[in-house]
Amino acid sequence: MPYVNVRITRTGVTREQKARIIAEITQTLVNVLGKKPEHTHVVIDEIDTDNWGFAGELTSELIARTHPKK
């Protein structure tokens, strides 16, 4: 039973995009490892940008600095 956990920031990802992510990851496990789709679990965790950081700063601050609202 494969279990895949995908973590992304909460930045406007649509339901359709999430469905595609799940479908394509599942298909990759079928193609590469021969796993059965009905036994494959994919979980998407959406993390608020105030709870995600890299390069020493919050993602929300980086986004605000590099993509200022007009």
Q: What is the CATH number of the domain that holds 30?
A: 3.30.429.10
Range of the domain at 51: 3-66
pLDDT tens track of the chain, all 70 residues?
A: 999 999 999 888 999 999 999 999 999 999 999 999 999 999 999 999 999 999 999 999 999 998 887 6
DSSP class per residue in 6-68 = EEEE-S---HHHHHHHHHHHHHHHHHHH---GGG-EEEEEEE-GGG-EETTEEHHHHHHHHS-
Q: Identity (one letter) of the amino acid at 45?
A: D
37 annotated active-site: no
Confidence at residue 69, expressed as pLDDT on a 0 to 100 scale: 78
Confidence at residue 67, expressed as pLDDT on a 0 to 100 scale: 85
Domain count, the chain: 1
In angstroms, the CA 42 to CA 25 distance is 8
Confidence at residue 45, expressed as pLDDT on a 0 to 100 scale: 97
Set 2, 9, 42, 44: catalytic member: 2
